[in-house]
Chain A
Amino acid sequence: NAGVMQNPRHLVRRRGQEARLRCSPVKGHSHVYWYRQLPEEGLKFMVYLQKENIIDESGMPKERFSAEFPKEGPSILRIQQVVRGDSAAYFCASSPPGRTVHGYTFGSGTRLTVV
């Protein structure tokens, strides 16, 4: 019974390149959430998705960042034209419907380093 799977665990990109982070939720979970954690800081909510729908993207930067959760396959967080300030750990979490009751299951994160 696999948990939330994120890949890659570590990702190095040069400034200006694109970063694609993948998240496969717990089997049966239809809700996915992305968070960003800067070194020595808390978790910042980015986006909440259900299959084929963005429910809440209030935490997403207006430019260069996008997220999707297609009908088939993992959720993708995409960062275009990365800058050094994008270096962080990105965590994905999933839940069944009714997140307020069940809480989340987290993945181990993708650590993005922009050089």
Chain B
Amino acid sequence: AQSVAQPEDQVNVAEGNPLTVKCTYSVSGNPYLFWYVQYPNRGLQFLLKYITGDNLVKGSYGFEAEFNKSQTSFHLKKPSALVSDSALYFCAANDMRFGAGTRLTVKP
């Protein structure tokens, strides 16, 4: 069975600081990994995906994610957080069952 885990319910960072939102996966076969963001009262928006190739994937709004096969992780990162990045972030794997989500709060 495929699954992803987001170990942190909540991440708080100060504006301008780097942010990381963690995701680990368990899949059989090749992992296809996705990050989505949900703003209040909205649907999910696609941020980026890893299918194959470079372990560092760049996506929308300055986000990137690093695929680490040995640690079975796909952490979402951004070098300098913005207040407008505050949202709910979801990781998903091959069968598109989502992690529980991580609420990111960026404080001015």
Contact = CB atoms under 8 A, between A and B. Distances in A.
A91 B44 contact: yes
Interface string B27-46: 00000101010000111111
Contact of B49 (A43, A45, A103, A109): A103
B46 A103 contact: yes
Given A42-B100, A43-B90, A43-B101, A100 B46 contact: no
A33 to B, nearest CB: 7
A42 B97 CA distance: 10
Contacts of B99: 42
Interface in B6-55: 32, 34, 36, 41-46, 49, 51
Q: Please classify the interface of chain B as helix (H, G, I), strand (E, B), loop, or mixed, using the class held by over half of its residues.
A: loop
A90 to B, nearest CB: 11
Contacts of A106: 36, 43-45
Q: How large is the interface on A (under 10, 10 to 19, 20 to 34, 35 or more residues)?
A: 20 to 34
A42 B96 contact: no
Size category, B interface: 20 to 34
Residue picked from B44, B45, B95, most chain A C-beta under 10 Å: B44
B94 interface: yes
A109 B38 CA distance: 11
17 contacts: A41-B100, A41-B101, A42-B90, A42-B100, A43-B44, A45-B96, A45-B97, A91-B43, A99-B96, A101-B51, A103-B46, A103-B49, A103-B92, A105-B46, A108-B42, A108-B43, A109-B43
Interface of A: 4, 6, 33, 35, 41-43, 45, 91, 93, 99-101, 103-109, 111
